[in-house]
Copies of this chain bind each other. A is one copy, B any other.
């Protein structure tokens, strides 16, 4: 008993100390539990991440990979309002239509040929703004609008993304509509997309078994 007690007390003290630093602001719900450190304990490593030169694994149905460097990988980004990503595409690969709910984005192509685009909101006539990008080209995607990037060249493509939030979030349309946990009622989607039940069920099966589109962060 005494051993357990000591263990518990030690653990509690650690927990309590962990909270002698302020917890951090993040301006959106479902927020990441990043704790601010005591300024005296902050080091250069809190502003550092390594490994974005490694290509992501594009061996999946979409032939693409997304590696995000946001506040979960660089704690010092908390409140700084900026993050980076690396995008890899196999030939024919794509990052399918998706939305960043909390930031606009710039993309810079390093290698390959990308067809990119976004669609303006319904108030502005659902206009498609699209462009074929080559190395050195930059394109901007406004916050909250549907965007996509597709490798239309014959080689791999690599691009860097920059966003104006340390926690931009990503809403991949396919996974969100057809692979949420639990699933959205099939009949609702049948009517929304003017499809028959079997087609919706088929798409739901496809997306239910797929992983998240962003490379998971293992802490």
Q: Interface residue tally of chain A, by bracket?
A: 35 or more
Q: Which residues from B are CB-within-8-Å of A136?
A: 50-54
Interface contact A123-B192, CB-CB below 8 Å: no
Closest to A27 in B: B79
Say whether, besides A52-B137, A136-B50, A199-B199, A192 and B97 are in contact (CB < 8 Å): yes
Interface contact B126-A176, CB-CB below 8 Å: yes
Of residues 120 through 137 on chain A, the ones whose CB sits less than 8 Å from some CB of chain B are: 120-131, 134-137
Mark A50-66 against chain B: 1 for CB-CB distance below 8 A, else 0. Answer: 11111000000110000
Closest to A35 in B: B22
Closest to A184 in B: B128
Q: Which residues from B are CB-within-8-Å of A53?
A: 110, 135-136
Copies of this chain, count: 6
A194 interfacial contact with B, CB 8 Å: yes
CA gap between A15 and B212 in the complex, in Å: 34
A157 interfacial contact with B, CB 8 Å: no
A174 interfacial contact with B, CB 8 Å: yes
Q: Which residues from B are CB-within-8-Å of A48?
A: 131, 137-140
Interface contact B191-A96, CB-CB below 8 Å: yes
Of residues 77 through 116 on chain A, the ones whose CB sits less than 8 Å from some CB of chain B are: 77-84, 92, 94, 96-97, 99-106, 108, 110, 115
Interface contact B176-A146, CB-CB below 8 Å: yes
CA gap between A53 and B158 in the complex, in Å: 13
Q: Which residues from B are CB-within-8-Å of A142?
A: 28-30, 76, 80, 101
Interface contact B47-A129, CB-CB below 8 Å: yes
Q: Which residues from B are CB-within-8-Å of A185?
A: 115, 150
Interface contact A82-B124, CB-CB below 8 Å: no
Interface contact A29-B76, CB-CB below 8 Å: yes
Q: Which residues from B are CB-within-8-Å of A163?
A: 82, 162
Say whether, besides A22-B24, A51-B136, A80-B164, A180 and B127 are in contact (CB < 8 Å): yes
CA gap between A135 and B103 in the complex, in Å: 26
Q: Which residues from B are CB-within-8-Å of A206?
A: 194
Interface contact B123-A106, CB-CB below 8 Å: no
CA gap between A176 and B122 in the complex, in Å: 8
